[in-house]
Amino acid sequence: MATQELDLFVIGAGSGGVRAARMAAQSGARVAIADPAPFGGTCVNVGCVPKKLYSIAAHYAESFEESHGYGWTGPAPTLDWATLKANRAREISRLNAIYEGALTGAGATIVRGRAHVVGPHEVEVNGKVHRTRRILVATGAWPVVPQVPGAELAITSNEIFDVPEFPRRLVVVGAGYIACEFASIFRGLGAEVTQLCRGEQILRGFDADVRDFLAEEMRKKGVALRTQVHMKSIAREGGALRITLEDGTTLLADQLLYATGRAPRTAGLGLAEIGVSLSPKGAVIVDERLRSSVDSVYALGDVIDRVHLTPVALAEAMALVDQLYGKDQRRMSYEFVPTAVFTHPSVGTVGLSEHAARERYGDVRIFRSDFKPLKHTLSGSTERTLMKLVVDAASDRVVGLHMVGDEAGEIVQGFAVALKAGATKAIFDATIGIHPTAAEEFVTLREPVA
């Protein structure tokens, strides 16, 4: 038997789904949201939040070592892996409860279980059919593990936070931001880390200077970064894993982390069966208003495979709810979306890479600085910072801003507002810097590089 008709049934309680359900319910819509997993999705449970917590943890060993240059003495403490895991789990549970409380407080109905779309206006969960005017798919994405012999012995970013024993030898396969982040994190926590990349460099799609600079900094910190290598097989050997590459070389590891990409989670949802068009990768194909090929079905977040970032999913959710239940004034823009990569050192970027800017504008001016930050004049660290501006020569508008260095995300967030507002290089030049900070370098770059 079907329940009383709803206005909106949300499938997936990640950041985007929860935001859409909560805002729609607050507007007076009758809303239900279903998910079998703890609420908060990838970001809260096995993504942004725990990853940033572990990144913070990984900086302490380095900070203790660097403190000697500032007069601090004494032995550095050691990592208790079990304590880190337990404290992280407690914080995630707290956030799960906050997400659920926000939903029920707004008047949304929580449905525990895996949803299956059985019609353009019907969703089945645990044998019960819910009738709804609209359906929103916000099921996110899931790690993909290439099919090599022994792949079942590998873990993904979903499992890495809770491995029983700290992996003293970790091999990370992948070149994207997730692979680079975990390579940096576990190196900082004390593991011997080898990162294997099929391509010629890490972070495909990022600015070339950022990619090269970060790779060198990661190597300086002890990550054994190897490019243009291919996996052949994985096998158990005693208490370790033997990893064989296509060139015949082998590696021994306690854990092998595959971070080679994520695919939209649409398998088994029943979308294709009701006529929803999917991409070859399984992503829901939507128009500029997030509507699928079936008028009553919408989708947002990683499942539409546009920009895999939590704030983008949140923005899409707010735009959709405003469109359906508000004044229809919000529009989703994917230009000048800032992002950070929590490597060591971290990356912050907004706008176009130099290559993309040259393709779009032709004539561009490049401003770049590579320097030792003040902190490391006493710390003994060889870490350096990179800052780069990409300027459209015709309009003088800053169309790309990139940084590799301490707290890059915190710094770039503020500059993202300026780029979104259309700031020119002249405005950057006229802005007074805060001294002494690394951030002031962005407003004191004067001479373009060749």
- Residue 422, domain CATH: 3.30.390.30
Q: How far is CA 406 from CA 28, 288, 344, 373, 401, in A?
A: 44, 36, 8, 9, 15
d(CA 402, CA 441): 12
Determine the length of the chain.
450
The model's pTM is 0.96
Contacts of 418 by beta carbon, 8 Å cutoff, 6+ apart: 398, 427, 428
Could you read off the pLDDT tens digit of each residue along the chain, which spans 450 residues? Answer: 455 699 999 999 999 999 999 999 999 999 999 999 999 999 999 999 999 999 999 999 999 999 999 999 998 899 999 999 999 999 999 999 999 999 999 999 999 999 999 999 999 999 999 999 999 999 999 999 999 999 999 999 999 999 999 999 999 999 999 999 999 999 999 999 999 999 999 999 999 999 999 999 999 999 999 999 999 999 999 999 999 999 999 999 999 999 999 999 999 999 999 999 999 999 999 999 999 999 999 999 999 999 999 999 999 999 999 999 999 999 999 999 999 999 999 999 999 999 999 999 999 999 999 999 999 999 999 999 999 999 999 999 999 999 999 999 999 999 999 999 999 999 999 999 999 999 999 999 999 998
Q: Is 308 a catalytic residue?
A: no
CATH number, domain at 155? 3.50.50.60
What pLDDT was estimated at residue 1? 44
Residue 1 domain flag: no
Contacts of 79 by beta carbon, 8 Å cutoff, 6+ apart: 57, 61, 166, 189, 190
Same domain, 276 and 246: no
Helix ranges restricted to H, 294-407: 310-325, 354-361, 376-379
Residues 202 and 172: beta-carbon distance below 8 Å = no
- Collapsing DSSP to helix, strand or coil, 274 comes out as helix
Same domain, 97 and 207: no
Same domain, 21 and 132: yes
Domain end call among 277, 302, 325: 325
Q: Give which of 343, 49, 312 is closest to 206, Cα–Cα.
A: 343
What are the pLDDT digits (tens) for 166-203?
999 999 999 999 999 999 999 999 999 999 999 999 99
Domain end call among 260, 287, 313: 260
Structural domains counted in the chain: 3
- Collapsing DSSP to helix, strand or coil, 347 comes out as strand
Q: What are phi and psi of 391, to 5 degrees?
A: -120, 130
Residue 334 domain flag: no
Domain end call among 260, 275, 295: 260
Exposed, middle or buried by CB within 10 Å (0-12, 13-18, 19+), for 340? buried
Same domain, 292 and 433: no
Q: How far is CA 419 from CA 92, 210, 334, 450, in A?
A: 34, 19, 13, 23
Same domain, 318 and 346: no
Same domain, 371 and 353: yes
Same domain, 13 and 113: yes
The whole domain housing 279 covers 6-142+263-325
Same domain, 275 and 246: no
Number of H helices, E strands in the chain: 11, 21
Same domain, 194 and 70: no
Same domain, 133 and 269: yes
d(CA 448, CA 450): 7
Q: Give which of 55, 41, 50 is closest to 86, Cα–Cα.
A: 50
Report strand pairing: 240-245 vs 250-253: antiparallel
Beta bridge partners of 116: 124
Residue 450 domain flag: no
- Collapsing DSSP to helix, strand or coil, 78 comes out as coil
Q: What are phi and psi of 166, to 5 degrees?
A: -65, 125
Same domain, 17 and 129: yes
Residue 449 domain flag: no
Residue 364 domain flag: yes
User: What torsion, rounded to 10 degrees, do the Cα atoms 432, 436, 442, 443 define?
Assistant: 20
Same domain, 235 and 159: yes
> 230, 344, 402, 435: which one is catalytic?
435
Dihedral class, residue 400 (left if φ above 0, else alpha if ψ from -120 to 50, else beta):
beta
